[in-house]
A and B are shown apart, each in its own frame.
Chain A
Amino acid sequence: MSESLLPSGVDVQFADIESALAGSSDDTRRAGGTALTATVVVAGPRHRLVEAAQAIAALKDVGVRAVLISYGDNPAPGVRVAGHTVALEGLRPDYLNNAVAALRLSSLPTLVWWRGGGTKDIEGLATLADRLVLDAEDPREVWKWVENLAQRTSVSDLRWARLTRWRALMANFFDIPEVCAAASSFSALRVEGSDRPAMCLFAGWLLSILGSEQRIVPDLREQSSLAPIEAVVLGDGTQQLVLRMAANRTCVQTAATVPNLPSACRTVSLGNQQLAALLGEELRIRARDVAFERAVAASRNVS
């Protein structure tokens, strides 16, 4: 049997979860700890919950109640509580909604971090979540549902969060008037990397904001030895905007080759890409992310 998601926790009955958590809250209060401000639900297959549990543990100072739910076929799953975290192991996915409805903090935001599973179970979850953060190994199936899910809650994806700095750097190019002037002639987009969904998402985003889905045919070059996104090259035969992962793998080098523009190169940190950091950032956002929704829609046309 694999190790528990909460090795330091105690086994409790489902009906006793609240009192076990309240005991933790009292201890925290006495220790002058943080108040709870949100519920984070992590749902997914068991093998994807281990690193999620570690990320949640790293968020202990943020003040969240965390609920870890791994899928199985058990109508009466094992329950373990440690601090403000509850783990339900082996729950039948049909009952995901019921478990979340019972365990979320009333009146405060609930973020659902969805690490994969059947798409039919996600629709009900969306009605209970204030923010739904998708993070499936292969997200293509669930991305077909984003438009529908976005009618119920704000939807995002950790792949999208990882692309934030890449998107910002690409957008920065267009602050330069010469680049803006040249943009209408761009006809080629090359994305290199190892994570095809991320590559499609970036290409979809870029094409949707440039309004050039017909004009630019993206060229995705996938290679398993590369970073999820290794390089992005936008331009035509003579002009190029380039983003490329630096040798240290923590920064991106940017370069623009456009007529009448002096060489514009810089190296920028990708920021903290750890799961806990990305999740912490997602917890700070409440607004609907229309750019993500459009990027996902456009990514479906990128093969």
Chain B
Amino acid sequence: MAQGDRRETDLATARELNAIVHRHYSEDQVYRIDHYLGKETVQNLMVFRFANGMFEPIWNRRYIDHVQITAAETVGVERRASYYEGAGALRDMVQNHLMQLLALVAMEPPIAFTAESVRDRKVDTILAAQPLAHNGKTDVVRAQYAAGWVAGAEVPGYRQDTGVSPQSTTETFVALRMQLDSWRWAGVPFYLRTGKRMPKRTTEIAIQMRRPPLEIFRRVSPSAVAANLLIINVQPDEGISVRFEAKLPGTRMQLAPVMMNFRYGTAFGGAVPEAYETLLLDAMLGDPTLFARHDFVERSWELITPVHEHWRNENASTIPTYEAGEWGPAEADELMARDGRRWRTL
């Protein structure tokens, strides 16, 4: 491709790139880096699920109500406007990072901890995903940040950022609902969201369990009992937390949610290696377990390309906005409200 020849990346370009690469290298010689896969917590997700006997039995539609995956940044487009204008949040974050996180949460147990076994199961998972845009409808919400207040300072809106078109409809926020057609996950929605200029920098996977079938404490503690949560903190403050109800000390029966926390920083001490350190070392050692395989990449583009086509067909000159420093637009809340759920206020 000639320099300056800007094509929007989509399924066709992904296939084209894979074909070019495969003309010169076999798949086992190719290491497609997604730095999220090098993060300790992301790797630990497999250990958490498959090296412990107590979690996998409840890791299914019978016990899990829904899953929320959030990747929030406080920064704006910074100096990447020329790239970001042609990409947007769906390409920049969802197609790669969030799809990988989804696959690791939802995959079936691999028969061995080998690269192909793990990557086969991840591809199975994403193959089970229902289309994100179908028959002119989509469960994907997009928005763009307007001026606001983040991290202690006033910030301009996206369209006022350097290098951004004043008429830009590039999305800086995406929220979507995914369904996996599998015995394990049928009927369990996966809600994904990512955005720039959010109140906090955080990436987490929150698994919300179903409520107890009978609320026997309703009479003595009439407050709504919070659902159990399992939270995998990807960044910052990498770790795993469990939220459960506890009795408040005292003579009265009052309940309150409490957290049980595991933090890498305090549990093991020492510095956690940077994701790229891990991945580059793995590449040098010839271990592709933590790298994206061509079929996974193509399938993820296959899911999001119709969404871009849907947006193009809308031919909209406007895009919903959210104030910088807030958790996205009202449309994202409505996406959850339709299912009787709410985004977590992180």
Interface residues of chain A, those whose CB is within 8 Å of chain B, are: 13-15, 18, 22, 26, 29, 35-38, 75-77, 79, 92, 94-95, 97-99, 101-102, 104, 106-110, 127-128, 284-287
Interface residues of chain B, those whose CB is within 8 Å of chain A, are: 148-154, 199-200, 202, 204, 206, 221-224, 229, 231, 236-237, 241, 243, 248, 250, 254-259, 266, 323-327, 344-346
Residue of B nearest to A97 (CB): B326
Residues of the A chain whose Cβ atoms lie less than 8 Å from the Cβ of B237? 22
Contact of A106 with B202 in the complex, beta carbons under 8 Å: yes
Contact of B345 with A104 in the complex, beta carbons under 8 Å: yes
Complex alpha-carbon distance, A29 and B324, angstroms: 34
Contacts known (A75-B154, A76-B153, A109-B256); A102 close to B224, Cβ less than 8 A: no
Complex alpha-carbon distance, A196 and B331, angstroms: 43
Complex alpha-carbon distance, A95 and B199, angstroms: 11
Q: Select A98's contact among B148, B248, B255, B266, beta carbons within 8 Å.
A: B148
Residues of the A chain whose Cβ atoms lie less than 8 Å from the Cβ of B344? 106-107
Complex alpha-carbon distance, A109 and B250, angstroms: 19
Residues of the A chain whose Cβ atoms lie less than 8 Å from the Cβ of B324? 98
Residues of the B chain whose Cβ atoms lie less than 8 Å from the Cβ of A15? 151-152
Residues of the B chain whose Cβ atoms lie less than 8 Å from the Cβ of A287? 221-224
Contacts known (A14-B151, A106-B346, A287-B223); A101 close to B327, Cβ less than 8 A: yes
Contact of A107 with B229 in the complex, beta carbons under 8 Å: yes
Contact of A77 with B152 in the complex, beta carbons under 8 Å: yes
Contact of A79 with B152 in the complex, beta carbons under 8 Å: yes
Complex alpha-carbon distance, A126 and B237, angstroms: 28
Known: A22-B237, A97-B325, A286-B255. 11 other contacts (CB 8 A): A15-B151, A77-B152, A92-B149, A98-B149, A98-B199, A98-B324, A99-B149, A101-B199, A110-B345, A285-B223, A286-B223
Residue of B nearest to A25 (CB): B266
Residue of B nearest to A77 (CB): B152
Residues of the B chain whose Cβ atoms lie less than 8 Å from the Cβ of A26? 266
Contact of A102 with B151 in the complex, beta carbons under 8 Å: yes
Residues of the B chain whose Cβ atoms lie less than 8 Å from the Cβ of A101? 199-200, 325-327, 345
Residue of B nearest to A100 (CB): B199
Contacts known (A14-B151, A14-B152, A107-B243); A35 close to B248, Cβ less than 8 A: no
Contact of B149 with A286 in the complex, beta carbons under 8 Å: no
